[in-house]
Amino acid sequence: MAEDTSAQQIENYLAAADEAFAGWSQTPAAGRADVLDIVADALDAAAGQLIPVAMKETNLPEARLAGELKRTTFQLRLFGQVLRDGTWYDARIDQADAQWPMGAPRPDLRRTHIPLGPILVFSASNFPFAFSVAGGDTASALAGGNPVIVKAHSGHLELSALTGEVVTQALADAGAPAGLFHVVFGTEAGKTALLDSRVKGSGFTGSIPGGRALFDLANSREEPIPFYGELGSNNPVFVTKQAASLRGAEIAAEFVGSFTLGAGQFCTKPGTLFIPRNSGMREALAAAALPPGAKLLNSRIQSGYVEVLQALSGHASTEVLVQGSDPLADPPSPTLLVTGIEDLLADPRALQAECFGPTALVVEYDDEEQLVAAAKTFEGQLTATLQAEESDEVAQLVRIAASKAGRVLWNQWPTGVSVTYAQQHGGPYPATTVASSTSVGTAAIARFVRPVAFQNFPQHLLPAELQDGNPLSNPRLVDGRTVS
């Protein structure tokens, strides 16, 4: 078991990270990409050591963890590719223009993005690789040119220490600046680092209360810093009458697969399924073969799950639709509750609470107009899903869903978040603390860089991505026109 990091050690790490910033931020992007590749290779090579430790600490099965590690190293390499492509600079060049119609000559202005400084990453319980020590926040912060300090999650301390050693050794092998990367342990270590003036930004994945407390702390600083927290989401799914009629049994089976995937411990788990009354879907769900109970990540998650499940099932309007033999045991059998849409509309906050684990709520409706009304009652979400047919009149429902969520799906399921260029894993509060950001996909790098414009500069003092002749061949916006 890793010991809590001492105050002196934290001070040493912060000083080292601050010192490493100059060298890393000045390493050309392509050089940083090479380093990320080397880190990815080292993690892949260490899979045989890492995965057994992860299995022991998180109760997650080997295949899932192997897949997650693959996703994690793919992510590091994808950020490397983005660094080489140069799209992330959002480079803009305005040439001097004496006739600029603003009323005064336009100077030569060139805008790019630069890193912020040391970034503090709070890692997640449910993704011991992909949202932890070497996960998406770390990858995007390093890619952007920032040192990283990771606060290990208490649910997988040994894995965090081991992953940290692999990453630190790989960074050294790759010739990255010493002190670029550190893992710290303990709640106090995280708070101390968050309040330190050398830390310039933070990423977080976890619960609403925990994330909000840290968000408030980040904003309480003399110099507030951006705090990118991904907190909680219910991820509603809306099934139209046509879809229920044409594919009801199939949708029911896929829904059960999605809400019980990983024992329901995904931030994109569909927590609410809206189905038409008297469509046969209720019966299909009631008859569904639920998977057996699986141990949750740790005892804190287990007790938190039982508490929320008891609140939901104890709500006056809900009843059990189907559940395994031991819904409150450890491991817990999955549970499907059911209620009517009028009840959901009457008490949305209670019935839309996120239940982290293998429980979901089925809501029966009569009229598709009610889906629009129900969608409007949700707080900010990571995802919202429609199961519908192309001839359905759902434009308004899509619009409301998009106004509530960062990602809207059509006839697919929200679990399984692909790491791509167009991915958006974010959403209005409380899904995240910064709705304009994503924590998955290549746009995640934007969280840890900021724009700077150079006015009237000589070529040799400009960053390469802004120089005449475009030596890095990155796409640019020149006089307002995209040049690729």
Rounded to whole angstroms, the Cα distance separating 223 from 219 reads: 8
Contact at 8 Å (CB) between 357 and 324?
A: no
89/274 with CB nearer a copy of itself: 89
Of 57, 68, 267, 355, which is the active-site residue?
A: 267
- Residue 355: CB partners within 8 Å, gap ≥ 6? 264, 271, 305, 308, 309, 312
381 strand-pairing partners? 405
223/319 with CB nearer a copy of itself: 223
23/324 with CB nearer a copy of itself: 23
Contact at 8 Å (CB) between 386 and 394?
A: yes
Least distance (Å) from a copy of itself to the CB of residue 270?
A: 13
129/185 with CB nearer a copy of itself: 129
Least distance (Å) from a copy of itself to the CB of residue 337?
A: 26
b/e per residue, 174-209, with b = 16+ CB within 10 A? bebbebbbbbbbbeebbebbbebebbbbbbbbbbbe
One-letter amino acid of 339: T
Least distance (Å) from a copy of itself to the CB of residue 303?
A: 26
Least distance (Å) from a copy of itself to the CB of residue 434?
A: 7
353/398 with CB nearer a copy of itself: 398
101/469 with CB nearer a copy of itself: 101
185/378 with CB nearer a copy of itself: 378
N-term to C-term CA, the chain: 51
Is 355 assigned a catalytic role? no
Q: What is the 3-state secondary structure (H, E, C) of 260-305?
A: HHHHHCCCCCCCEEEEECCCCHHHHHHCCCCCCCCCCCCHHHHHHH
> Mind giving me the DSSP string for 392-461?
S--HHHHHHHHHHEEEEEESS-SSS---SSS-----TTTTBS-TT--SSSGGGGGGGEEEEEEES--GGG
Least distance (Å) from a copy of itself to the CB of residue 171?
A: 22
Contact at 8 Å (CB) between 434 and 426?
A: yes
Of 68, 230, 354, 465, which is the active-site residue?
A: 230
Least distance (Å) from a copy of itself to the CB of residue 329?
A: 31
Strands of 227-230's sheet, edge to edge?
A: 181-184, 148-151, 119-122, 201-205, 227-230
Least distance (Å) from a copy of itself to the CB of residue 235?
A: 13
**Spatial CA neighbour of 236 closest among 413, 104, 367:** 413
84/191 with CB nearer a copy of itself: 84
**Spatial CA neighbour of 330 closest among 352, 370, 368, 303:** 303
- Beta pairing class for 359-365 and 272-276: parallel
Map residue 251 onto helix, strand or coil.
helix
Is 230 assigned a catalytic role? yes
Least distance (Å) from a copy of itself to the CB of residue 457?
A: 5
- 359: DSSP letter: E
Rounded to whole angstroms, the Cα distance separating 389 from 121 reads: 41
Query: Which residues participate in catalysis according to the annotation?
Result: 230, 267
